[in-house]
Chain A
Amino acid sequence: MKPSEPADAPLLQARGLAFSRNEEPVFGPLDFELRPGEALLVLGGNGAGKTTLLRVLAGLLDASGGEVRLQGRPVDRDHLARGSAYLGHLPGHKGELGTLENLQFAQAINGGAPADLEQALAEVGLAGYEDTPARRLSAGQNKRLGLARLRLQSAPLWLLDEPYANLDLDGIVLVNRLIQEQVARGGAVLLTTHGAYAAPPVPVRTLALGPSRRPA
């Protein structure tokens, strides 16, 4: 970030952000902003467009209207993709490879500070699973591997799609702790959930997406 920019500039700012698929609106237009050190909880039922919103913000989809600013600058899809770390419904790693091998690959293509990968695995509760192929892990353990990958990326913005899904109580505490750390180092987190049953212990804004307007 350039020193001339005000310290409290929103990390992420959306104005009139909307997405339609085949002329049918999925969400929006939405206005929201997210400052460093904040978490934004996106609420909404099934089909409300939470995942779509996250995929637009991650740069995986093109918005059909509106503008997104990252650190005060209007950005396109490619910039979004580089400025954020995304944890979606898919595991994002190979089932045939061991957990450590998967992390090594993610670390190499994402850059970020050099880190002790075994330590990173231990921190998400996967100590002792270093050589286990990811396909032998449970759904919750796969999520934990995704969290380890996320933690290693130094992206200022985290986009978490249903991070609490499949996790046990311990895992929910883990997600909350990781969010807390990210927020403490001046990052921001945008997460979706269909029920605010496990809100992270940090300043949280909420954004409610309406029910789907698509005809049944």
Chain B
Amino acid sequence: MTPGPGSRITYREAVKQAIREALAQDPRVFLMGEDVGKYGGCFAVSKGLLDEFGEERIRDTPLSESAFVGAGIGAAMAGMRPIVEIMTVNFSLLAIDQIVNNAATICHMSGGQFPVPVVIRMATGAGRQLAAQHSHSLEAWYAHVPGLRVVEPATIDDARGMLRPALESPDPVIIFEPISLYNMEGELTEAAAGVDLSHARIHRPGRDVTLVTYGASLWRCVTAAEELAASGIEAEIVDLRSLRPLDDAAILGSVRRTRRVVIVDEGWRTGSLSAEVAMRIVEQGFYDLDAPIGRVCTEEVPIPYPKHLEDAALPDPARIVAAVRRTMGNAQ
């Protein structure tokens, strides 16, 4: 029995429900990736789906990221609706030719004749002491590329709801799933059925400062906002949700209300999504700002293995609170 709205489920279960629903409703949908079948998924997202849907639709692939991602692109162009799982963003670099040179370009190069309705899911992020090669947050690389749509569900509702519009989109959609959120529990609400792919969402309203973030950092911001509230600072949290396109209207709308902004990004600062968001605020809302834009990003090091160093490298509530207090500056 699938738990419905109102129940508490994990992020993992929310993603799995979405995949199961898609498989049940559309015979064109299939899941393909490394260890998605017999193993049940590296993060147990697809556990049980092989028994339920069979080998044809739950396809274990060889460790050939380029071939199976490219095959997903081809199958999508030919009328199927593949969900391609790349175990983590780290391994997606072995398929980046297919994603950037094929998925993102073919609709355009063909003069619009061949849309590429593929969905590519991949886990992202650090926080589990997996060291430098298993801890990347490279969302910005993909968000850089016209032709792709890039989303990152950070909530249970989005984890449950984003797959359906992604599969309905005629464009290639990359869904980033933060590894550190798979075990997160939360309430599934009716809103999951109506989520879209392109709008940011005010996760927490507040009058004093805007925190713009996405992915696992949403919850770091929530913790920081609670701490700030205790000292009378009400932070508004904007969960970007869509990393391409960026929802300028939502970002600027919040900044115009609070006039102060801190951007929290698990990517490295240099050339990051935080840089893009900040520049859009400068371009479109410079005169609405009462203080310089603040940023909390991952330190510019490959992610180290020891816990104390990894923690020190990543954005955390304490650094977010400190950045907000700096931004509040004279106002406090």
Q: Do A and B come from one complex?
A: no
Taking beta carbons and an 8 Å cutoff, which residues of B are in contact with A? none
